[in-house]
Structures are given as structure tokens and as C-alpha cells.
Structure 1
């Protein structure tokens, strides 16, 4: 049974839940979600900027930077998922009008960020011996180590951003999240240009400059969010940093209980696509290039249901906190309808215009690109087929997080991605010789399994006892 927030009773009786119509819920969800969607796209732009500018240095630096970020990302993504438990917990407390719990949850979210940074830093620092065991090129490993030993210090600000962003989302203040994220893209681009290449009188640091730019960007974004929540009159009354040093072990444990399964769920999905890239590597260079193109197309479309999923966590959490089962249903199904509706449109676009879309990435006038383009077009077609289930599974998972239901969805994700999706991908790709298309069909099957189970779980939430506060 999932862990759910214990609602602290107020001095007065809980107010009668306010009924929200379907139209009003649609408007509220859309207003909450659209800045988050754009912010997710902007977050992608941060990594894209790094790749482009490291590419200007040359293939060796780009390869080393890619190796370094590939090593760092699983730790960071897992931590982001864990600290992201702040969002449903704050949303539930806000729905219950429990201001004291909001303060404690956010404060312990910052504690969780600090604890994770302290635990992960010495592990990530050992990138050189780890890469040596994995047989990576020694020269690339040394360059990757240079990057990691600078970028590693971004762990606390990056995870602290998640705690503050979760608070802002729970209070429907998503536009400031968008503005700060877009500002971070600008800061990252300018810092990269100055520190990588030594422009504007700055030292030419090359790969270390890229790492330093990423670190500075996260510090700037964390500082901007901290200043906003500490000084804005809407959040100042929460006294978020009052007695910051005082531990609340109950709330901290609650964040880890709810957040750890979220982190593992995200890692399971990220790991599935990482493993699929490794399988593509066994097929050839054209397959890897085509896979990267199709994956970029799919991940760009995925940002929309991901933003809607965050909105679902908040809206469902609000309704759950105020004890409103009708509001829970309307919030969850509204986000689900928006997410799957958008993905149905993107599926049509992928199926109809896939061959044209892939030419954005590779020049069709170059004969050497023809095979990769043909493969990419076929992969994008399969990606079009799984767009709806991909949107369904992410929105359903986030809606369940609004109920603090994270343990069973974690198990479902592990089974769906690794015991269903990956074996099917391998069998179709290699045993049945469907190659890259077979691998992508396996991904679709895994996502479809998770989508069906999680949507059914949300539909059966009352029968499963997910609406009982604990």
C-alpha cells in the first residue's frame, strides 16, 4: 500500500470541498501545465547547447563530454525523482490548508537534496576507476574526469531547484518556473561561449569551461528560485527557511518513502532507452544514428504529456488533500485526456510526415545518409504508434503520485520496461531479425504494458483503497 500524507487537522473543521466543473478543471489544468511544458522544452535546450558547443571543439571533447554526462545523469535523474516527492506532498498539504506541513515538507526537501549530494559526490568522483573497469578509452576517460570534477558540485543546487519548483507548481506559480528556466538557457549559452572558447577576456577552459558553465547555470537558477519564494508575499508567510537546521525526521522519511520509488521508476525508463541504444550499437552506425533521430523526435513530443503529468500530480494532490474524490477523478481524467489527445495528434504527424521530419537531422542530398534516413523514418513510424500509450503512462503515473501512490507503479515500471519491453525488443530485433524496427516495437510493447496497468490502477483507485489518508 502506498504511503500517503498524514493531514494535520486545523483548528477549525475542514471546509466542504469546492466542486469544480469539467470545463473549469480543463482551464485550470491547462493554465498550470503550459508553462511547465515550455520549461521542459527549455530544459532540453540546456543539454542541446552543451552538445553543440562541445562539438565545435572537436569529436574527442564531444565524446568525453558525452561520456561524462552519461555517467552523471542516472545519479542526477534518480535524485530528481526522489526530491520530486515534494510536489505531491505539498499539493496535498495545500489542499488540506495545512500551512505548517508545507513549510516542513519543503524544508526537508532541501535536506534530502543535501543528503543526496553528500552521498553521491564521492561515488561520482570515482569516474576514472569505473571507466577503467568498463574498458573505456584512457584519453577520453581523463577528459571526462576533468568535466565531472567540476560539474559534480551542481548536485545540491540542481536538486534544490526541484524542491523549490515543486513548491511553485503546487501553488500554480508555474510561469516563474518557465521564466527562470528560460533565463537559465540564456545564462548557459553565454557562459559556454565565454568559458569554453575564452571569449570576452575569460580563460579558455574548453571541457572544464562547459562543466563550469553548467554549474554556474544551476547555481543561478537555484538562487533565483530561492529569492523568489523567500521574498514574494505569497510565499514569504510560509517562513520556509525558519529553523532550517532543525530536522523533521517524520517528513524527511516521508519524502524518501514516497520519492525513492519515483526515482527508481524514472531510472527504469531511462535505463530502457539507454539499453536500446546499446542494442542498436550491435547493429551498426546507421542504426545508432537513426535511433538517435527517432528518440529526439519522440522525446520532444514527450515533453507535453510530461508537463501535463506534473499538473496532474498537483491537481490530484490538491483534491486528495481536501478530501474530494470527485475532484480527484476530474483532475486525473482531464490531464489524461489532454495528454493522450496531444499524443494522438503527434502520432498522426509522425506517421504522415516521418520521412520529411528526419531530413531535419541529416542532409538527404548526401548519398552516405540515405540508409540512416530510411531507418530513421521507419523508427519514427513505430514511435508514432506508441505515442498514445507513452502519453497515457506518464500522465497516469503522475496522477497516482498525487495520491502518494508510488511503490506499486515502480514495480509495474520495472516489470513493464525490463521483463516485457526489453525481452521483446531483443527477440524481435535479433532472434526474428527485425533489427532496429523490432527493438522499437519492443519499446512500444513495454510502454503499452505500463500504460494499461497504471491507467487501470487509477480507474480502480477507490476499490484499491488509494483514497484513504494515512
Structure 2
């Protein structure tokens, strides 16, 4: 397959995934904007609460993301039974993860206070999280089923399921946060109820679709039946994937906690800048998912040259997106940040001033953030998860987090220093993970294939 053909194939598969991730982030963006209109203090609280929730969510997504390369490989081998078994055990492990993590969300105030947050913010965040705790299960089930569909290259469905949820979430927020359409004004609790109902709505839509249009795998029949062998395989791949995601997420979660030490205004500015950076990251994540599926298919067929060319194309597309994002963030920082704030909020000017600096730093890490997540997608496609987990831990805990602490508080650079630490951690991760795929995995796979080719 030529490079232009690889570009077309990657875009056909990846653009709906990009759209789905963007729509998913639009849900979070809607939450942030509407809560920001409700007040700067509320925005700071939701920023902190969502940081904890999504840290656990992304850790739990390890099992969902393990399903994607496994199903892609089994589909390339035409093994429908293993497709079904892997997806079911991904659902099992997601459910078990929710049971284990529920108490942490329910009693989150003590944890947040232990991490240095003010009693008021910690208490209000717990009110929010006690509602959203019930949304962890439908959110992870939705992610697992989306991974299953994406691996089967039914990515348009993934896109439309998420798109439908966006207006639903916006209306629910508008009704419950501010007390419209005859509903009571519930503020932060209303935002949490809206998010919970959106997660439930999404999982119902995707289950109905699979039962109606993908009946060949009988995915939900005898779902209760254990499968120890496949359970162990999904667990073995899913745990390091989850821990890898947790490493990066913990770096950003720690940055939010450190911002909380600096006060409400830095935390609110951080929340806005991170929300904007996360939106653009979804573009790279969609390409990463496409790279996982295409590498998984090539892995099942043992077609290493195809895999390498596809990887080059995914990285090139990611770099192109990063260049466009850098221009946007550097050229228009103030209007982007102002969109999140009530014009009458007394803290608005201070938040915008700090947010502009953080958004310029976010522009700097666009290229390396895209490069590291695409490399992760390629490594997952060949079911290599153990070493990437170690490399991510070294990058984020060994480099990024210490740098953020030192530059933010020892050097007294404040919020700017914390974000420079983020940039350093992501840069090291991009270098190490790409080295792992291109200079270790690809040569090793090619050598393994050489005896078969010569036979």
C-alpha cells in the first residue's frame, strides 16, 4: 500500500474516532463553560473533582483499550469467538474496577483535604463526586463497547453515539445547573446529575445499536458466564495500559492539586487551559486509536512493512494537527479563555491574564503530546504494554512531576513553573516511546518474520 493510500485509510478509520473523542470532550467543555458561568469558585471545585474522577476513569479505561488491539487482531484472524470473549471480559474487568473505586469517590473529601485542598472546596467536590460515582460504570462500559466497535472498523457508529450525547448533556446542564425548564437550580450537584444521566444515556444507545446491528457476536448472551483464560489475557494487557494512562493522568492531576495550593484563580485558569489543550489532544488520541487498530490488523496478518508505513503516516498527521493547534493557541489565547467566564465575574481579568501564559505553554507541548500518544497507540497495536508502562512512569514521575514541583515552588515560578514541568515530562515520554516502537519493536518483529519469509 502506498503512502497516499495509508493516509486515506488512516483518515477513513481515524476521523470518526477523532470526531467521537472531540464530541466526548465537548461534553466536558460544556460542563466547564456552564459551571464557569455559574461562578469562578464553582469552576475551581469542578476542575478539582473532575480531575479525580477522570484520573480513575482513565485508569479503568486500560481494560477497554486492551479490548481494541485484541479484537483487531482476532478480527484479522477471522476468530469471532475470541472477539466475543475478549470484549466480554473487558466488560467484566471494567465492572470490577468500578466496585473497587466507588468508595474512593464516595469518601473523596478526606482524600482531597489530605492532598492540601481547602475544606470548602474538598467538601463541595465530594458532593459533586458522590453523584458522579454512579456514572463510572456506564462510562467504562461505553468505552469498552466503543473500543470493540472501533476494532471492527465501525468507527462512524462510535462518532454518532457520542455526537447524540452532546446536545443531551448541554440541555441537562442548562436545566439542572441554572434551574431552567421547570427544574430546580442545583448548581454543582445539577452539573453532576447531568453528567451521570449523559453516561447512562450513552451506554443505552450503544447497547441498543450492538444488539440491533452487530448480532453475529452475540455479545450480551450469557454475559454472566466466566472465562478465566480470556479474563487473564485482558487483565494482563489492560493493567499496564491503565497504569500507563494513570502515569500521565497523575501528572496532570498533580498539577491541578499544586494549582490548588496557589489559590482559586490559578486553579480556574489551569482548568480552562487544560480543557482547551485536552480538546486538541482528542485529535491526536483519535489518530492513536486508528494506529492501534491498523497496527493490530497488521500484527494479526504479520505484515510488518504495512505496519511501519501506517505508523509513519499516523505520526505525520499528528504533527500536522499540532502545527495548526500551535498557531491557534498563540494567535487567539484571550478570546479562547474568555469564552469560559462570566463577563461580570470579578475574577475574570486575573484568570484571563494567567490563562494566556498557560495556553502558550500548552501550545508548546502539542507536538510532543501527539507524538507520545500515537507511539503508545502503535505499541498497543502489537500488544506491547509492559515496557511502555515503565517508560511512562519514568517520564512523568521521574521527570515531569519533580520538575513541576521544583520550578513551581522551589524556583518560585508558580503556575508557569508547574506547566513547564508538564512540557518536560511529555517531551521525555515522546522520545522514549517512539524509540521503543521504531528502534526496538519494528526491527524485532521484522527479524522474527525473516525465517518464515525465507522458508
TM-score class, shorter: 0.7 to 0.9
Tell me which residue corresponds to 1:9.
none
Alignment partners' CA distance in 2, 1:365 and 1:124: 33
1:222 counterpart = 2:203: yes
Tell me which residue corresponds to 2:396.
417
Tell me which residue corresponds to 1:397.
376
Extract unaligned runs of 5+ from structure 2.
450-455
Tell me which residue corresponds to 1:189.
170
Following superposition, the deviation at residue 159 of structure 1 comes to 0.9
What SS does the aligned partner of 1:84 have?
helix
Q: Is the Cα contact below 8 Å between 2:326 and 2:363 reproduced in 1?
A: yes
Q: Quick one: structure 1 residues 381 and 95, their matched pair in 2 at CA, closer, same or farther if it must change by over 3 Å?
A: same
Alignment partners' CA distance in 1, 2:402 and 2:158: 39
1:439 counterpart = 2:418: yes
1:247 counterpart = 2:226: yes
1:276 counterpart = 2:255: yes
Q: Quick one: structure 1 residues 216 and 361, their matched pair in 2 at CA, closer, same or farther if it must change by over 3 Å?
A: closer
Alignment partners' CA distance in 1, 2:9 and 2:292: 13
More displaced stretch, 343-352 vs 393-402: 343-352
Q: Quick one: structure 1 residues 281 and 150, their matched pair in 2 at CA, closer, same or farther if it must change by over 3 Å?
A: closer
Q: Quick one: structure 1 residues 34 and 155, their matched pair in 2 at CA, closer, same or farther if it must change by over 3 Å?
A: same
Tell me which residue corresponds to 2:299.
320
Following superposition, the deviation at residue 217 of structure 1 comes to 1.4
1:185-243 C-alpha deviation (Å, 9 max, x unpaired): 122222333344554445555544433322221111111111111211xx211111232
Tell me which residue corresponds to 2:28.
47
Tell me which residue corresponds to 2:428.
449
1:232-263 C-alpha deviation (Å, 9 max, x unpaired): 1xx21111123222211111111111111111
Q: Quick one: structure 1 residues 244 and 129, their matched pair in 2 at CA, closer, same or farther if it must change by over 3 Å?
A: same
Tell me which residue corresponds to 2:405.
426
Q: Is the Cα contact below 8 Å between 1:83 and 1:255 reproduced in 2?
A: no
1:20-419 mapped onto 2 (5 Å cutoff): 20-55=1-36, 65-131=46-112, 133=114, 141=122, 143-202=124-183, 205-232=186-213, 235-281=214-260, 287-354=266-333, 358=337, 373=352, 375-419=354-398
Following superposition, the deviation at residue 330 of structure 1 comes to 1.9
1:110-159 C-alpha deviation (Å, 9 max, x unpaired): 11122112222233322344456557555655544443333222222111
Alignment partners' CA distance in 1, 2:59 and 2:158: 21
Alignment partners' CA distance in 1, 2:300 and 2:37: 51
Q: Is the Cα contact below 8 Å between 2:37 and 2:341 reproduced in 1?
A: no
What SS does the aligned partner of 1:463 have?
helix
1:16-46 C-alpha deviation (Å, 9 max, x unpaired): xxxx332222111101111221221221222
Q: Quick one: structure 1 residues 195 and 459, their matched pair in 2 at CA, closer, same or farther if it must change by over 3 Å?
A: same
Aligned residues: 448
1:78-136 C-alpha deviation (Å, 9 max, x unpaired): 11233221111111111111111101111111111221122222333223444565575
Extract unaligned runs of 5+ from structure 1.
1-19
More displaced stretch, 355-364 vs 435-444: 355-364
More displaced stretch, 364-373 vs 93-102: 364-373
Following superposition, the deviation at residue 301 of structure 1 comes to 2.0
Alignment partners' CA distance in 1, 2:94 and 2:173: 26
Tell me which residue corresponds to 1:17.
none
Tell me which residue corresponds to 1:8.
none
What SS does the aligned partner of 2:69 have?
helix
